[in-house]
Amino acid sequence: MSNQPYDSSGSIIQRKRGGPPGEGAEKGLITLPGESEREIEDLAGGTYLTTTVDTMVNWARGNSLWPLPFGTACCAIEFMSMVSSHYDIARFGAEVVRFSPRQADLMIVAGTIVDKMSPVLKKIYEQMPEPRYVIAMGACATSGGFYRAYHVVQGIDEVIPVDMWVPGCPPTPDGLMYSILKLKEKIQRGEIRR
Amino acid sequence: MSTLTKFSAIPYTGPAPTNREPYVAVDGPAADARGAAIAAALQHPGMTQELGQDMPSFIVGKEHIVDVLRALKESSELAFTMPLDLFGVDYPKRDGRFDIVYQLYSLKNNERIRLKVRVADGEPVPTGTGVFKGLDWYEREVFDMYGVIFDGHPNLRRILTHEAFQGHALRKDYDPAQRWLLTENDVARIIPKIDPRFENVDTDYERVTLNLGPSHPATHGTLRIVVTLDGETIIGADQEIGYLHRCFEKMSETHTYQQVIPYTDRLNYCSAIINNVGYCMAVEKLLGITAPARAQHIRLMLCEFMRIADHLVCIGTNLVDMGALTNFWYLFQPREEIYGLIEACCGARLLPSYTRIGGLAVDVPPDFLEKSQRLVDMMPKFINDVEKLVDRNKIFLDRVVGVAPISAEDAINFGFTGPCLRACGVPYDVRKASPYLGYETYDFDVPIAEGGDTYARFLVRMEEMRQSLKILQQAIDRGLPEGPVIVDNPYVALPPKTKVYNEMESLIYHFKLIMHGIQPPVGETYFQVEGGNGELGFYLVSDGTKNPYRVRCRPPCFQIYSAFPEMIMGQTIPDAIAALGSLNIIAGELDH
C-alpha cells in the first residue's frame, strides 16, 4: 500500500463539507488502497469519504472475487480443501465458486493442462467477462512441472495470460490462499487492467 | 498443425534386454505347472507356453488369439471371464517388434493368465472386442500408443492423445518431449451413435446432441461426454478422454525406479499412498525382497486411511452433484484429519511419496498410534451422520435407486473391479483374493450389494469405510513391530546419513545407488493391490538398467468408465450425473 499524499484532482466525487448525513454516525479511521490513512473527520468534517471511482471499484473487486475452478488434477483436490470448512476461503470473500465462466472473474487453473485441453482452456478464458484474473496453481500449471512430456503444456502462459503463480506440487491450501490475498492486493492497487 | 520441441530428449540407447541376469519368479514352478495344465485342458494348437513367469504365460499366434480368448472365457472349468488388462511392449530390435499382452482373470479359480501376441510393425491383430467388451478401450489405447491396428474394431480412433498428434508415443523411438500443438480448428466433432434399441422408436421430440464437459461442474475436471437426447431420454452417448493424459508410462521410462514413485502419486491422487505401495511392491517383487515388518504394518495402516479418504471424497462430491452440499463440507473435516496424520509422518499432505522401494522414507512419529486411534474413534460419527442425513432422504433415494444399473455379468465382461464390481454382488477384493501386506491375518468382510445401481455403489462404499476402520483398529491393537522401516540392502536402499558421513563403504554405496540406480534382474512381473477404485496393477519390464524398460499401470477407472454409455442408456441427464459421481472416476488414473 502506498503512502502518497491524497490528491483529489482525479476524483469525480465532489468533496462535500457540512454535517453528517445521519445522526449518530460514528467517526472512524478508514483506509482505502492507494491512499494514506486519514481521519474521516479531517476530510469531510463528518462521515464522508471521498475517493476515485477506480479506487472504490478496485477495492470492491478485490474483496469479492468469484473463482472459477478450472480443476483438472490433484491441485483441484487441494482447491476443494481450501474452499471447505477447515481453511474456509469465505473469510476473504472468495467463496462463491462458479462453474460457469460467465459468472466468474478469477480463474484458478488447478492441475496439469495437456495439449488436448489447451483449446478448451483458451475458450473458457475468453468466455469470462472482463476484468478477469488467472491464478496458475501448482507446478504443472506454472511450468508443466515434472511432466516434461509429449502431451503436456509447459506452463499455461503458452495459452492464456497469468497474474499469479503458486509454487508447490500441489500447493498447500495456505499457499493458494496467500496467492488470492496477494492478487487482491494487486487488484486493489489497480495494477491489473485487463 | 505445428511441431514444438522445447526440450531435447535423450533417445533410448540402452542394451537389449538379454544381457543381464534373468528374473526368476518365486512362484515360477507353480505357474509353469498350472500353465501346462491349462494348455492340456484347452488343447489349442496356437499356444506356446512361456516358462518361469510369475503367472501362467503363453505366446499365441495372432491368427489364434480370438479363438484362444473365447476358449478361455467359455471353458466352464477355467472360466477366465474377466479381461484385466491389455497393453503393448515395444522391442524395436526384435523381429516381431511389439508384444501385445493380454491378462485375464478367473473369478472361479482365483487365478490369472497372461497371453502375448507378437506382431511386426504394420501387422494387424484381430480384435477381441467380440469376446470381451472391456477390450474396446484397451485396443484403442494400444493403437494410440503403438500404432498397432486391430482388425474389425468398431471404433479405432485415438483415445488418449489429441487429433493433431503425429506418431505413436510409447514406441521406443518416439522422443518423450516431442509435442504437437492442437488448435481449436483441429478439434474433431463427436456425434454419438444412436443405440440400436432406440433407432426406430417413434418420438414427438427433436433429437438433440448435448455436450457435457470437459469443463463442467459434474464431470469432476476432465471428462467429456456427448449424448444424444430424445426429449429427456439419452439414446446415444460417447465419451472422449485424455484431457489429463500426462504420459505416466513414457515418463517412467525416462526416470529411475525411485524417481517413478512421485509419478505414481499422481495417478489416483485421492488415495496416493495406495499407488506408492502398489508400485513399490511390484519393484520389490522384481528384486525379490520384502519390506521389513514395521514398514509393512505402517503401509497397511496408511493404505486403509487412504481408502477411507478416497471414499469420503467420492461420496462427498457425488452428493454435491445431487445438491447436498452440506455433506461435502462435513466430510472434508475427517479428510483434513487424515491429511494431518500423513503430514506428521512425512511432511506432505495430498501426494506424500512416502514409500520407498524396500520400505518407507522415514519412520513414523512416536505418537503415530495415538493419533491413529483418535482418528479411528472420530470417524464413525462422520460416517453415521452422513448416512442419517441421506440414507432415508426421499430426494436422494429417488435419484439413486435403480439409476444406471449394470448386471454382474456385464460388469465382469467389462473388467470392473473394486466397489463398482462389488455393488453388483461379486465379492472380488484383491485383499482377500491374493493378500499382500498381511491382509490375510486381519478379520474383515468384503461388503457386496445387489443391483449394481448408484445406490448399491453408495452402500458398498459406506460399508467399506467401516470395514477399513475395523482393520485399522486391529492394526492399532497389535502395535507397531520394532525394527527398521527400510531393508538393509545397499543395492536397494540408501545407507543412513550418519554412516555415509563416517564410513567409506557406505559413502561408495550411496554414490553407486544415486548414480547407477537400482538395477533389477531382467524380466517382467505384475503386482496388484486393491486401490480405492479397484484392482490397481503394475506390470514392470526390466532390462537390467537403472530405468524401467516399461511400466504399465492398470488403472481401475479405465474400464469402469468405458462402460458408462451402456449404463446411462435410456436414462436422463440428471441420472447420468448422479451415476458418474458414484463411479468415482479419477482423471489422473483414467488418462494415465
Summarize pLDDT for B108-137 with one digit per residue, the tens.
Answer: 888 999 999 999 988 899 998 889 988 999
- Residue B34 pLDDT: 86
CB contact under 8 A, B162 and A116: yes
Q: Chain B window 228-267: which residues touch A at a Cβ cutoff of 8 Å? A: 242-247, 250-251, 262-263, 265-266
Residue B231 inside a domain? The answer is no
User: Span B452-481, mean pLDDT?
Assistant: 92
Query: What is the total count of domains within chain B?
Result: 2
User: How close B175 comes to chain A (CA, Å)?
Assistant: 8
- In A, minimum Cα distance to B252 occurs at A147
CA pair distance A81, A173, nearest whole angstrom = 7
The model's confidence at residue B333, banded by pLDDT at 50, 70 and 90, is: confident
Beta bridge partners of B117: B60, B100
B270 in contact with A, Cβ within 8 Å: yes
- In A, minimum Cα distance to B343 occurs at A172
Given a cut of 70, whether residue A96 has pLDDT beyond it is yes
Residue B230 inside a domain? The answer is no
Domain at A65-188: CATH code: 3.40.50.12280
Q: Where are the domains of chain A?
A: 8-51, 65-188
Strands (E), B214-282: 224-230, 233-240
Nearest to B333 among A86, A112, A120 (CB): A86
- Residue B13 pLDDT: 45
User: Span B465-471, mean pLDDT?
Assistant: 93
Strands (E), A60-99: 67-71
Domain boundary pick from B150, B165, B180: B180
Nearest to A74 among B179, B266, B336 (CB): B266
User: Span B97-105, mean pLDDT?
Assistant: 91
CB contact under 8 A, B269 and A73: yes
Given a cut of 60, whether residue A167 has pLDDT beyond it is yes
- Residue B526 pLDDT: 92
CA pair distance B50, B56, nearest whole angstrom = 8
Percent of chain B with pLDDT over 90: 31
pLDDT in tens, B392-448: 888 888 888 888 889 999 999 999 999 999 999 888 999 988 899 989 999 999 998
CB contact under 8 A, A150 and B262: no
The answer to whether residues B265 and B137 belong to one domain is no
Beta bridge partners of A114: A152
Cis omega (within 30 of 0) for bond into B292: no
CB contact under 8 A, B263 and A146: yes
- Chain A CB contacts of B262 below 8 Å: 146
CB contact under 8 A, B244 and A150: no
User: For residue B352, what are the domain limits?
Assistant: 248-360+369-590
The answer to whether residues B531 and B446 belong to one domain is yes
* Range scoring the smallest mean pLDDT among A179-193, B242-256, B394-408: A179-193
What interface predicted TM-score (ipTM) does this complex get?
0.85
Residue-averaged pLDDT of chain B = 87
User: How close A164 comes to chain B (CA, Å)?
Assistant: 21
pLDDT in tens, B450-460: 888 899 999 99
The model's confidence at residue B262, banded by pLDDT at 50, 70 and 90, is: very high
Nearest to B182 among A81, A115, A150 (CB): A115
The model's confidence at residue A47, banded by pLDDT at 50, 70 and 90, is: low
Domain boundary pick from B151, B180, B209: B180
Q: Chain B window 79-98: which residues touch A at a Cβ cutoff of 8 Å? A: none
User: How close B52 comes to chain A (CA, Å)?
Assistant: 35
- Residue A13 pLDDT: 38
- Terminal C-alpha separation, chain A: 21
The answer to whether residues B298 and B176 belong to one domain is no
Q: Chain B window 161-190: which residues touch A at a Cβ cutoff of 8 Å? A: 161-162, 165, 169, 174-184, 187
The answer to whether residues B334 and B447 belong to one domain is yes
CB contact under 8 A, A81 and B175: no
The answer to whether residues B39 and B156 belong to one domain is yes
The model's confidence at residue B1, banded by pLDDT at 50, 70 and 90, is: very low
A70 in contact with B, Cβ within 8 Å: yes
Given a cut of 60, whether residue A3 has pLDDT beyond it is no
pTM of the shown model: 0.87
- Residue B6 pLDDT: 36
pLDDT in tens, B509-525: 888 888 888 888 888 89
DSSP B118-172: EE-TT--EE--TTT-TTHHHHHHHHHHHH---EET-TT---SSS-TT--S-TTST
Pairing, β B233-240 against β B224-230 = antiparallel
Given a cut of 80, whether residue B449 has pLDDT beyond it is yes
The model's confidence at residue A188, banded by pLDDT at 50, 70 and 90, is: confident
CATH number of the structural domain spanning residue B144: 3.30.460.80
User: Span B180-195, mean pLDDT?
Assistant: 81
- Taken in order B278, B310, B138, B457, is the CA torsion positive or negative? positive
The answer to whether residues B338 and B481 belong to one domain is yes
C-beta separation of A140 from A73 below 8 A: yes
Q: How many CB pairs under 8 A join A and B?
A: 130
Domain boundary pick from B145, B180, B215: B180
User: How close A106 comes to chain B (CA, Å)?
Assistant: 15
C-beta separation of B169 from B250 below 8 A: yes
Residue B557 inside a domain? The answer is yes
- In A, minimum Cα distance to B223 occurs at A72
- Chain A CB contacts of B263 below 8 Å: 146
User: How close A19 comes to chain B (CA, Å)?
Assistant: 48
The model's confidence at residue B8, banded by pLDDT at 50, 70 and 90, is: very low
Given a cut of 70, whether residue A11 has pLDDT beyond it is no
The per-residue b/e assignment along B176-199, b for 16 or more CB within 10 angstroms, e otherwise, is bbbbbbbeeeebeeeebebbeebe
CA pair distance B438, B478, nearest whole angstrom = 13
CATH number of the structural domain spanning residue B439: 1.10.645.10
The answer to whether residues B252 and B336 belong to one domain is yes
